[in-house]
């Protein structure tokens, strides 16, 4: 995939001037920016909710993690993108997803997760898919509304009695007149 660009330039040395062919290798595009080659399978989140594979994008890139000499040639880092705004999840779930993961959301409404903790691309794919399922499961749970409560009459009396006892103890510590 790498292209070579050649250009002839004049170079000079102590032996005289001559034409030199400069070859410049154009860098290959990063694998994470390339179009994914296959559509991921549907991702079951709960028994009733499944994220369709059409809203998921899997991309592989070179990983900086463990792997020895082969780490520079194998693309084991997996990036999974989920199009939250195009999904048919309820609006409150979408809002909770965006609110709980602000650093992982793009402006276009994609939730981006990555994993490069293993040497195996297959294992990293499994981990990142399970991570996405856990995030969506957490967003499905409605937070409980906190209701303000008043202290009971008995707890107010107990608090004031304890305050009085403590005040009496501290006042007794003062100087004593004989």
Position 81 scores a pLDDT of 94
The enclosing domain of 88 has a CATH number of: 3.30.160.20
Alpha carbons 134 and 112: distance in angstroms, whole number: 14
> Is position 16 within any domain?
no
Which among 146, 58, 87 has a CA at the least distance from the CA of 95? 87
- H/E run at residue 168: helix 153-171
For the stretch 57-102, pLDDT in tens is 999 888 776 666 666 677 888 999 999 999 999 999 999 999 998 9
Q: Is residue 46 part of a domain?
A: yes
Q: What is the predicted pLDDT for the residue at 17?
A: 67
Domain count, the chain: 1
Burial class (CB in 10 A: 0-12, 13-18, 19+), 56: buried
**Which DSSP letter does residue 73 get?**
T
**Is 12 a domain residue?**
no
Residue 14 lies in a domain: no
Q: What is the pLDDT of residue 8?
A: 65
Q: At a CB cut-off of 8 Å and minimum separation 6, what does 7 contact?
A: 21, 22, 24
Contacts of 98 (CB under 8 A, 6+ apart): 84, 105
Q: Residue 79 falls within a domain, yes or no? A: yes
Q: What is the pLDDT of residue 35?
A: 47
- Helix or strand holding residue 78 (H, E): strand 77-83
């409605």: which residue's tokens?
A: 142
Predicted pLDDT of residue 62:
81
Q: What is the pLDDT of residue 104?
A: 92
* Residues of the chain scoring pLDDT < 50: 1, 31, 33, 35-36
Question: Could you tell me if residue 62 is inside a domain?
Answer: yes
Containing structural domain, residue 69: 30-140
């Amino acid at each position: 995939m790498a292209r070579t660009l050649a250009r002839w330039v004049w170079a000079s040395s102590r032996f005289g001037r001559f034409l030199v062919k400069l070859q410049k290798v154009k860098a290959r595009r990063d694998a994470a920016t390339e179009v994914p080659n296959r559509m991921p399978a549907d991702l079951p989140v709960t028994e009733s909710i499944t994220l369709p594979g059409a809203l998921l994008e899997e991309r592989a890139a070179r990983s900086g993690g463990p792997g020895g000499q082969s780490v520079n040639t194998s693309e084991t880092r997996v990036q999974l993108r989920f199009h939250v705004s195009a999904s048919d999840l309820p609006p409150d779930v979408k809002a909770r997803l965006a609110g709980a993961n602000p650093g992982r959301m793009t402006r276009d409404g994609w939730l981006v997760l990555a994993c490069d903790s293993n040497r195996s691309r297959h294992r990293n794919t499994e981990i990142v898919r399970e991570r996405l399922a856990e995030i969506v499961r957490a967003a499905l749970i409605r937070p409980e509304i906190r209701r303000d409560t008043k202290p009971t009459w008995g707890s107010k009396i107990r608090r004031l009695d304890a305050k009085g006892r403590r005040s009496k103890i501290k006042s007794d510590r003062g100087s004593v007149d004989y």
